[in-house]
Structure 1
Amino acid sequence: MKKLAIIFPGVGYTCTKPLLYYTASMAAERGYEIIRLDYGQDIHTFHGRTPAELEPVIKLAIKRTLPQLENVPFSEYDDIIFISKSIGTTIACQLETALQLKGKVHQFLMTPIPSTLRYLSDINGLFFAGTADPYMPESKIHAAARNFPDKTGGIFEGCNHSLEQKGDTLGALKNVRLIVECLDKMLTNA
């Protein structure tokens, strides 16, 4: 069985950061080939965070991502998962359609941004969010959890955009572990 995991980073949250590093590591342990995307240094160091500021950055990231994936023989894979963080969640959802993979991809969305929420009804997968995320209003997180309980992987009370609480290193590590365990369960059942 051929399996593929594509890792979609966020702004400033590259594939070497804990949530993406350890989820990619778990996917590799479960026999998935790993593709780690890179949008370019200018995007990884971008400082804007409003939806209006992020929209052109998302479009540019997609433009840069497509060439990284153009030679991937998606039809040869029995299982494909998109593991994403922050703006990567919107990029992953848009690329599922652009690459004509609708219904063939499992999405694993960590700390989605508001523009990702419109895709929840169409995806096969889970999302994870913190209630103290400055880029996603808590009311939207709870509404998404109510509207899509089967796609709610976890809501982390009081946690920020990295699913951490300031001054709680052990809690942050526990959250990473919970995320990785959820991914492991998803990969095992795929």
Structure 2
Amino acid sequence: MINKLAVLFPGIGYHCDKPLLYYSRKLVREMDYEIREIHYGSLPSGVKGDGTKMRQAFIQALEDVTEQLSNVPWSSYNDIVFISKSLGTAVAAAYAKQNAIPARQIYYTPVEASFEAIGTMGIVFHGTGDSWADTKVICQKCKDRGIKLYLTEGANHSMETGDTIKDLENIRNIMTQTKKYLLEM
């Protein structure tokens, strides 16, 4: 029997009940993954464009994750997937690296600084209208690491365009690619 675990790492202000993580959670539940959701404590506000505050948020979030996942019996799982959003992408990658956890990674809208921790495993989703991360930088970082990148034209940091029907089509496409990746085990 395959024991599967999915851990959801939210962003700042982008919790697990927002579309990307909500539907990812539904997907992994349908696929019989045990699910753990990370909840951060108080993080600094006004982090956009402020490297110092972003670093403080990362450190605090990583401490929260370390505490919340301290009792997970990692070796009892055959398939571990970390599904993360924004700041959570850096936290998920750093936590896996620091603890030598062979987690497959699904990165939704990583910020550029996330690539200080992101290795060579996983897939990345990025909107070309994301004001938190430059598309050219994200493309190059993914290329350098050999990570599959899915671009959503005109989507912002929440992978939304302002057109509800287009957003629903986009979320469907993102979840389709997410499911394909999950089935690669």
Instruction: State the TM-score, normalizing by the size of structure 2.
Output: 0.93
Structure 1 residue 177, shift from structure 2 partner: 1.1
The match for 2:129 is 132
* 1:91/1:23 CA distance change after superposition, 3 Å: same
Distance 2:182 2:135 in 1: 28
The match for 2:28 is 27
Q: 1:85–1:110: 8 Å Cα contact kept in structure 2?
A: yes
User: Runs of 5+ in structure 1 lacking a partner?
Assistant: none
Helix, strand or coil for the counterpart of 2:183? helix
Greater RCO structure (CA 8 Å; 6+ sep): 1
Whether 1:144 and 2:144 are equivalent positions in the alignment is no
Q: 2:126–2:135: 8 Å Cα contact kept in structure 1?
A: no
Helix, strand or coil for the counterpart of 1:189? coil
Distance 1:107 1:142 in 2: 17
Structure 1 residue 145, shift from structure 2 partner: 4.4
Whether 1:171 and 2:172 are equivalent positions in the alignment is no
Q: How many percent identity over aligned positions?
A: 34
Helix, strand or coil for the counterpart of 1:80? strand
Structure 1 residue 84, shift from structure 2 partner: 0.1
What number of residue pairs does the alignment pair up? 183
Letter in 2 for 1:114: E
Deviation above 6 Å: which 4+ runs of structure 1?
none
Higher fraction of helix: 1
Greater CA drift, 170-179 or 82-91: 170-179
Distance 1:47 1:91 in 2: 18
Letter in 1 for 2:133: M
Instruction: State the TM-score, normalizing by the size of structure 1.
Output: 0.90
Structure 1 residue 123, shift from structure 2 partner: 3.2
Whether 1:184 and 2:179 are equivalent positions in the alignment is yes
Distance 1:185 1:138 in 2: 24
Structure 1 residue 46, shift from structure 2 partner: 2.5
RMSD of the TM alignment (CA)?
A: 1.5
Spell out, residue by residue over 1:96-126, the C-alpha distance to the aligned partner (whole angstroms, 9 max, x if none): 012221xx11000000001112344x23110
Q: 1:117–1:144: 8 Å Cα contact kept in structure 2?
A: yes
The match for 2:114 is 116
Q: 2:111–2:133: 8 Å Cα contact kept in structure 1?
A: yes
The match for 1:56 is 56
| Pairing 1:37-116 to 2, within 5 Å after superposition | 37-40=38-41, 42-43=42-43, 46-50=45-49, 51-101=51-101, 104-116=102-114
Spell out, residue by residue over 1:108-155, the C-alpha distance to the aligned partner (whole angstroms, 9 max, x if none): 0000001112344x231100101111110122123234434x522411
Distance 1:107 1:145 in 2: 13
